[in-house]
Amino acid sequence: MDILIKLSVIALLCGTRGLCQYEGYDYDTSYGSEPNDPYHPPFQFPQSLDYSDQAIIYTNDCARECFCPPGLIMYCDNRKLKSIPQIPSRIQQLYLQFNDIEAVTMKSFINATSLKAINLSHNKLKSNKVEGGAFAKLRKLEQIFMHHNDLVEIPSDLPSSVERLSFAFNKIVRINDRDLQGLVKLTMLDLCNNHIDNVKSKTLNKLARLMQLNMCNNKLHSMPASLPLSLMYLSIENNSISDIPEDYFTKLPNLLAIRMSHNNLEDIPTKVFNLPNLVELNLGHNKLQQAFFIPRSLQHLYIQDNELESLNMTIMCPKIDHFNTNRLTYIRVDQNKLKAPLSTFAYLCFPNMQRIYYGEQKHAEGETPKVQEPMLTHPLVSEEDDREGIPEYRHQEYGVDYNVNDYSY
C-alpha cells in the first residue's frame, strides 16, 4: 500500500511539471506595438483581459502562418498575408497589421466568436471588399483598428459591443446616416487623416457614450453637427473651419479639451468657450485678431501664430474672484503681432500662472523682432521645466484616454 501511495505522489509531481512547462517562459507583453509606424492610435488593446480561464485547452489549432502562444492572442502581423487566416474560437486579440489584406468576408470571422480586439491596420482594405455584416456576429468585439487602409466609407453593421474604432489614414469622404448605427457603447472614434468635408448627419449625436472624437487632418469647412452631450475631447485641428456658431458648445458641458489649431478662424464669439470643465484649448495657427473670454477651469491655452495685436485682459478676465480663482497656468502667444508685453494685470487675473511664453512676434520687413523671455509667477521653476515650446499635456490626468501625439506639431 505504501508503495502505491509513493508511486501516486511521483506521478502527480511529474504531471504538475508537465502542466507548468510554460511557467518560466518570458513572453513579450509589448508585442502589440507596431514597428516603424509613425501613427500611434489614441487607444491601445486592453491589458486587463483574463487569461486564467482553467477551462481553456491549448490545442494545435493556430494557422500555420501565425503565432499563437498559450493564451487568447493570435499574432499574424508582418507576414505578407493576402487574406485573413482561420481563427480559433478561443482567440480574443487578433493582430493582422502590416499585411496585404484587401477583403473581409462573411467567412473571415465565422469561428472567431470570442474576439474582443482586432488590429487590421496597415493593410490594403477596400470598402467594396468589406462585406456588410462581416463583423456583425462578433458579439464580444470591443476594439477595431483599421487605420492606414483604402476605405472610402465606414463599414456597416458593426456589433453594438464596440467601444473604440480607428479609421484614421483612409479615404473616407463622408459620414452617412446609416454609419455607426446601434453603437451604444462607443466611447472613441478616430477619423483623422481622411477626406471628410462636412458632418451634417445626426449619426454622431446618437452615440450617447462617445467621449472622444478625432477628426483632425480632414477637409471640414464648418464645425461637426450634432455632437453628443457625453463628449469630453474634440480634435479637429488641420481643417478649414473659419467660424464657430455662438451657441455651438452650450450643449457640450463635459468637454475637457478642444484642439482647433491649423484652421482658418478669424473672428469668434467672445464667450464661445465658456465651458465649466474645459482644461485645454488649442487655437494655434489660425487668424484670430481679438481676445476672448477665458473660463475659470482652463489651465492650458495655446494661441500662438495668430494675428493678435493685443490681449485685452478686460475681455479675457472681466471679473476677479479671490474665492474662485482662474486656474490658467500656461499661455503660449508667440508669433502674433503683440506690440508690448502682457499687462501685469494678467497675474492678478490668473494667480495660478506659471508660464507665459511670449517668444518672438511677427514683424514687418525692416522692423526689429520683439522677443520677450517667458514670464514666470513663481521664480522657483526647475531648469528642466524652463524650456521653450509646449509642455507635455497628459489627458490621463483628467480621465480622457488619449495618447498625446498631436498631428499638428
| pLDDT at position 52 | 40
Beta carbons within 10 angstroms of residue 250's beta carbon: 11
The maximal CA–CA distance of the chain, rounded, in angstroms, is 106
Cell of 373: 523671455
Comparing CA positions, the residue from 341, 344, 346, 345 lying closest to residue 358 is 341
Listing DSSP states for 178-199 in one string gives TTTTT-TT--EEE--SS-----
> pTM of this prediction?
0.78
How many whole angstroms separate alpha carbon 298 and alpha carbon 277?
8
Give pLDDT tens digits along the chain (409 positions): 555 444 444 444 444 333 232 233 232 333 333 334 444 444 343 444 443 443 444 457 899 999 999 989 999 999 999 999 999 999 999 999 999 999 999 999 999 999 999 999 999 999 999 998 999 999 999 999 999 999 999 999 999 999 999 999 999 999 988 889 999 999 999 999 999 999 987 889 999 999 999 999 999 999 999 999 999 999 999 999 999 999 999 999 999 999 999 999 999 999 999 999 999 999 999 999 999 999 999 999 999 999 999 999 999 999 998 889 999 999 999 999 998 888 888 889 999 999 999 999 998 776 666 666 555 544 333 434 433 333 333 333 333 343 333 333 2
How many whole angstroms separate alpha carbon 95 and alpha carbon 320?
54
Specify whether the CB–CB gap between 327 and 299 falls below 8 A.
yes
| pLDDT at position 31 | 30
| pLDDT at position 39 | 44
Where would I find the H helices in 280-342? Answer: 313-316
Domain annotation for the chain: domains and CATH numbers: 59-138 (3.80.10.10)
Specify whether the CB–CB gap between 193 and 216 falls below 8 A.
yes
